[in-house]
Chain A
Amino acid sequence: MKKEGIRDRVAVIGMGCCKFGENWDKGPEDMIIEAAYEAYEDAKIDPSDIQAAWLGTTSSHWVGMGGLALAEPLKLHQIPVTRVENWCATGHEAFRNACFAVAAGMYDIVLALGFEKLKDCGFPGLGIGRGMHPVMEVRRTAPSSFAFIAHRYFHEYGLSYEEGKRTIGKIAVKNHHNGSMHPKAHFRMKVTLEQVLNAPIISSPLGLFDCCGNSDGAAAAIICSSDIAKSFRDDPIYVKGIGLSQNSIAPHFEPNFGWTGFASTQNASRQAYDQAGIKDPRKEIDVAVVHDCFTITELIIYEDLGFSPRGRAREDVDAGTFTLDGELPVNSDGGLKCFGHPIGASGLRMCYEVYKQLQGKCGERQIKKVDRGLAHTLGGHPTVSCVVILGNERG
């Protein structure tokens, strides 16, 4: 990879995001239209200005294969539309490829859009059974994969079950607090630590409030070359770095895998930090929107992203480091926990929050001094990680 990578070569000039939640009365096309047209309007462009588009979505049940699920509702029939998929990093993958196409000089203005329609499948959560084999992972669930991390993390760092539960429980309280202030979030109620601790167990030690929402949703970004960004708006947001990495697709079968941290997040963030010139992320990042699919995930992400020393994220949780008025606010929009997790949309929803924070448009959630923000997705078992760094100044 070239040293500066994608830094400052492309900019985001418009973003959109539909209301996330159990959108029983909306089809994929409704959510796609809402997100895309909000982004067009934000960028003050006409749909005909879009020269190419990338769609991120993980499942084909209701929309078929390829890019048509995006092209059809938006009537983008004359331009190339490409569908990408990369587990929970799918939204970021659409954004990433759109950025590269602009940076390559192929297009001036492109659209990246991610969506997922999870709630038409007839089961709660992401369903039962994982992997690609008829028997090897028959009853594995998403929560159980992350529960492996929790039990192992508690064990390695000497947290009792109760101490562990309280530590991750505080992350749920924080994210519910933040999400309660976002009108587009799936869950908008605050919760107390007692509520979190007393909630039914989904996959021990993870209780109901340790698990993110399974939601329907769509989010979109309009990306152009940095050189023309100011012609659309005064406050374009510049892409400072993008990293992507994966560890084994089957960490639960990989010898010596530690289960208290993920090389995919560590490597993806290192790639992005190098491009952005970030040496000390805890000091140089002003807001982070990360992949809190479960509260334990957010805890180890603090360490994998270099915000907290290894094994000591608990001290930062107790100190309130990551609260909205803390040293480094994390998941200012409620995160996956409250905003919801329509898989293909999530990476772009995270960028949407960072983008709005960098533009100072977040109302009561607005963080005071924000110049650089980070969005992070972690997909698979967990396997794939993408880190995007955005800034509001070029250079």
Chain B
Amino acid sequence: MVGIKEIAVHLPYYRLTKEAIGSAWGAKGGTGERRVANFDEDSITMAIEAGFKCLKQNGRDHIKGLYFASTTAPYWEKQCSGICAGVLDLPPDIRTSDFGGSTRSGTNAILSAVDAVKGGLGDVLVLTADCRPALPRSNLESLFGDAGAAILLGDSDVICDFRDSYSIWDDITDVWRMDKDDFVKTWEDRFVVQMGYEKNLERSVKTILERNNLKAEDIDKVVFYGPDSRSHKRMIRRLGFKPEQVQDSLLDKIGNTGSPQVLIMLAAALSDAKPGHKIIWANFGSGSDAFLLEVTAEIEKRDISLTTVLPLDVGEELSYQKYLAFRGFVQTPQELVRLFPSASVMWRTRNWVSSLHGSKCNRCGTITFPVQRVCYSCKAKDDFEEVRLSDKKGKVFSYSLDNLAGGPNPPTIQTIVETEGGARIYCLMTDCNPKEIEIGVPVEMTLRLFHEEGGFYNYYWKCRPVYGDQA
């Protein structure tokens, strides 16, 4: 049976309260908050964060496909799933594909992945993230949120089976962003909700129940997209579910994250699911995808809490002004950085820059980053194997809080990290409170966007403190 082997979520570190947005414009913002991608994050980096979590307990050998789904892919031309595959250090001969175009892109990718698994390809990892731009002072600004999610699909050891799916398309201009638009646009609210969201989602959910001879009361959990809390609540009533059957939309904690939204909700729903539970899972965006899922006994065999319990309490509040700057909606001073961009250098050094490979000397065992052909310790030449350092924990060996380096969120935290195994990596630290940094702080590595010099996105690694139970 094809199903979910792992599901994981990445929530960015920063929270923006609706009150902060409101007070910036002299209005009542309401309650709740949304997540905001750090200045060095985008859909690729957030998707990859979630992807790494999926790989932790599953390894890489069985993965034969990687799909990336987003409405805010950083590139129109250049494959994002290929970037992700390199960073996740997946083999070169797996199938990669990008999905986009609607907030349904994540479930669209999952549908294709399910078919690929059924067809015998092997396991497929689907990454999805969005970082949707909303006009300052618009309603969408406080509704939206940034996040990433990942799901690993396969036909063995699954925690949740795909029993059925049903999809419809709808050519409706309700919520859109043209190729030349900087921000998401919408038509009149009532049209958007009634003719777009309600009509499509209701039809897909009712159809999948009917064709499986199920009634609302037969379902243990229903997990479906919500553009906003009010519409989501109204949909519960329309579909005939009781509130306790329905997974919290998390719209007031994370925001409407677009493509990953229903994956994040499904992860939360699975965190306390029991074998045999039937789940209706439905997404919306230019149509609707609905799924009937059934939880398997596998879910009790292993601890899925690390990936499914959302780290909602990690992070810091962000000011509205910094939010505008982080998302590039206002310009801030740009420092003169003395480095030359080069696509060919990035390509030639991709094993370090993308996959974070170091070298382990076959003769003396010294691990070095980046790869060294002549060993620092024993001077052995070309006698090493490449080792992946991206999933190694480390500790701060030394550091500085630098006010000269500039950047969107000074001080810039410069660190030398010593990883498990002894490699030293000089890198910047992100997603942290500078006051909490000291020698010995446990850190993990995270890929981030560094700059756009050369006219392309330059990604590389930073470290960040290990939060929560993983420390």
Contacts and interface: CB of A to CB of B under 8 A. Distances in A.
B337 A138 contact: yes
Interface stretch (A39-47, A97-105, A143-151, A303-311): A143-151
A138 B369 contact: no
B424 interface: yes
Interface in A250-279: 250, 252-257, 259
Nearest to B349: A133
A136 B340 CA distance: 11
A52 to B, nearest CB: 33
B413 to A, nearest CB: 9
A390 B341 CA distance: 44
Contacts of B339: 129, 131, 133-135, 137-138
A128 B339 CA distance: 9
B451 A138 contact: yes
B454 A134 contact: yes
Interface stretch (B155-163, B164-172, B393-401): B393-401
B87 to A, nearest CB: 13
Contact of B414 (A144, A202, A250, A256): A144
A256 to B, nearest CB: 7
Interface in A134-190: 134-141, 143-144, 147-149, 151-152, 155
Contacts of B397: 152, 259
A250 B427 CA distance: 12
Contacts of B459: 135
Nearest to A211: B404
Most buried by B among A122, A123, A144: A144
A138 B459 CA distance: 11
Contacts of B400: 143-144, 147-148, 151, 203-204, 206
Contact of A203 (B368, B402, B460): B402
B273 interface: no
A80 interface: no
B297 interface: no
A134 B422 contact: no
A127 interface: yes
B341 A256 contact: no
Given A133-B345, A135-B346, A255 B340 contact: no
A202 B402 contact: yes
Contact of A253 (B342, B346, B366, B368): B368
Contacts of A138: 337, 339, 428, 450-451, 460
B453 interface: yes
B414 A140 contact: yes
Interface in B398-424: 398-407, 411-412, 414, 416, 422-424
Contacts of A203: 400-405, 414
A134 B350 CA distance: 12
Contacts of A248: 376
A133 B439 CA distance: 26
B86 interface: no
Nearest to B375: A255
Contacts of B453: 134
B5 to A, nearest CB: 33
A259 to B, nearest CB: 6
B425 interface: yes
A326 interface: no
A90 to B, nearest CB: 17
A140 B412 CA distance: 9
Nearest to B414: A144
A134 B401 CA distance: 22
A202 B398 contact: no
B336 A140 contact: no
Most buried by A among B402, B403, B459: B402
A134 B345 contact: yes
A132 to B, nearest CB: 8
Contact of B398 (A121, A131, A152, A254): A152
Given A143-B400, A248-B376, A136 B460 contact: yes
Nearest to B449: A135
A250 B372 CA distance: 12
A148 B398 contact: yes
Interface in B296-337: 335-337
A200 B403 contact: yes
B422 A141 contact: no
A79 interface: no
Nearest to B346: A134
B353 interface: yes
Most buried by A among B339, B411, B451: B339
A143 B368 contact: no
B336 A255 contact: no
A66 interface: no
A9 to B, nearest CB: 34
B376 A141 contact: no
B458 interface: yes
Most buried by A among B342, B398, B401, B460: B398
B426 interface: yes
A201 interface: yes
Contact of A139 (B337, B349, B353, B424): B337
Contacts of B369: 253
A125 interface: yes
A127 B406 CA distance: 11
B370 interface: yes
A123 B336 contact: yes
B411 A204 contact: yes
Contacts of A124: 404
A248 to B, nearest CB: 7
A143 B345 contact: no
A255 B387 CA distance: 15
- Shortest 10 CB-CB distances between A and B: which pairs? A147-B400, A252-B426, A135-B460, A139-B405, A203-B402, A148-B398, A204-B401, A144-B414, A152-B398, A129-B338
15 contacts: A127-B337, A133-B345, A136-B460, A139-B402, A139-B407, A139-B414, A140-B414, A143-B402, A147-B402, A151-B399, A204-B400, A204-B401, A252-B426, A253-B369, A255-B367
Interface of A: 121-125, 127-131, 133-141, 143-144, 147-149, 151-152, 155, 200-204, 206, 248, 250, 252-257, 259
Given A139-B414, A148-B414, 10 more contacts: A127-B336, A128-B335, A130-B338, A135-B459, A138-B337, A141-B414, A144-B402, A202-B404, A254-B424, A259-B397
